[in-house]
Each structure stands twice: as structure tokens, then as C-alpha cells.
């Protein structure tokens, strides 16, 4: 249930913010929020992250649909039934849905969060992109944590042998 609620919430909030951006901000004109660091800039992205595969909307739409199906159908093979993995899956599904709605409805994805650090300009992104990245990050970190942390029952064999010999 958490996956469903989080996925719907992310997709809804993503679409709500994109609607506001399209209604409020002129295309391409930055609106400074924190001067020299963060702007709101209405951008049309016809590609994937950082504009990769620009103009490939049909292929990216199909890829999004396939990824959603794979994640839902095979979730038990790569996700454990833990709170952090359910959050990760909900964020990823909500993010994919948010951008998929744009691709199907508009033919591009609306991006608007625009950061500058020093002389470097990070490509504009949106709530869906952020949710996907955070979801993937949570999944990777929690998988690494579960695999290596002794409190999760994954004690290396050499340590078990030592602990067993000390008792006996």
C-alpha cells in the first residue's frame, strides 16, 4: 500500500508543479530564487536525463512503460519486503509515471529546477527526476547496507567460525 500511495503522491505533485510552471513561467526565462545558485526555468526536454537521446520521445515512452512493467512484475526478485525498498519503489514508480504522463500528453518533459554551483550549471530537472534519483539511491544504499551489516544477519563466514570456536 505504501508503494501505491507514494507513487500516486509523487506523480500528482510532479504534475501539479509542472502545470504551475507551464501556466506561470515563460519558456526559457530563468526566475532567480537564490541568486547565482537556484532558478526556476521552464524547459522542454525531449530527451532523458541531461537531454540524452533528445528527440526520441517514442522510444523513451516505450522504455518507461517497459520499466514500469518490469518493476511491478519482477519486484520480488530484486526488492526485499522492507520499508526502505517499498519507499524506493514508490519513488521510482511515481517519478517514471510523472515523466511518462508528460511524454504521452505533451511530447516532451517539463523541467524547471535549475541549479548553478560556481561556474557549473546542472541541467534542469523536475520532481519526477528527483524522485527517481532518490529512489535509486535509497535502493542502492539499503541493498549495500543489508548485504554488509552484521545486524541484518549477514555475518561473514570467517567471523561465524571464530564465534563458534570461542563458545566450544
Decide if 129 is catalytic: yes
89 and 142 in contact (C-beta within 8 Å)?
A: no
131 and 10 in contact (C-beta within 8 Å)?
A: yes
Cα separations in angstroms, 34 against 18, 81, 99, 113: 20, 40, 26, 12
Per-residue burial over 124-136, b if 16 or more Cβ lie within 10 Å, else e, is bbbbbbebbebbe
**Degrees to nearest 5, angle at CA 124 with 7 and 62:** 50
Decide if 14 is catalytic: no
25 and 31 in contact (C-beta within 8 Å)?
A: yes
Of the residues 14, 39, 102, 111, only one is catalytic, namely 111
Whole-angstrom distance, CA of residue 123 vs CA of residue 113: 8
Of the residues 14, 39, 114, 129, only one is catalytic, namely 129
Active site residues: 111, 129
Amino acid at each position: 500500500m505504501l508503494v501505491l500511495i507514494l507513487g500516486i503522491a509523487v506523480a500528482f505533485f510532479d504534475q501539479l508543479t509542472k502545470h504551475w510552471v507551464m501556466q506561470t513561467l515563460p519558456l526559457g526565462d530563468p526566475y532567480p530564487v537564490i541568486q547565482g545558485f537556484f532558478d526556476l526555468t521552464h524547459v522542454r526536454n525531449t530527451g532523458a536525463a541531461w537531454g540524452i537521446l533528445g528527440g526520441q520521445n517514442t522510444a523513451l515512452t516505450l522504455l518507461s512503460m517497459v520499466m514500469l512493467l518490469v518493476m511491478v512484475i519482477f519486484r520480488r526478485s530484486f526488492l526485499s519486503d522492507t520499508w526502505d525498498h517499498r519507499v524506493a519503489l514508490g519513488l521510482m514508480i511515481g517519478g517514471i509515471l510523472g515523466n511518462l504522463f508528460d511524454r504521452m500528453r505533451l511530447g516532451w518533459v517539463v523541467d524547471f529546477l535549475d541549479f548553478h554551483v560556481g561556474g557549473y550549471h546542472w541541467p534542469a530537472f523536475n520532481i519526477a527526476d528527483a524522485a527517481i534519483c532518490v529512489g535509486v539511491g535509497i535502493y542502492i544504499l539499503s541493498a549495500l547496507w543489508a548485504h554488509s551489516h552484521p545486524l541484518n544477519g549477514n555475518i561473514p563466514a570467517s567471523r561465524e567460525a571464530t564465534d563458534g570456536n570461542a563458545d566450544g
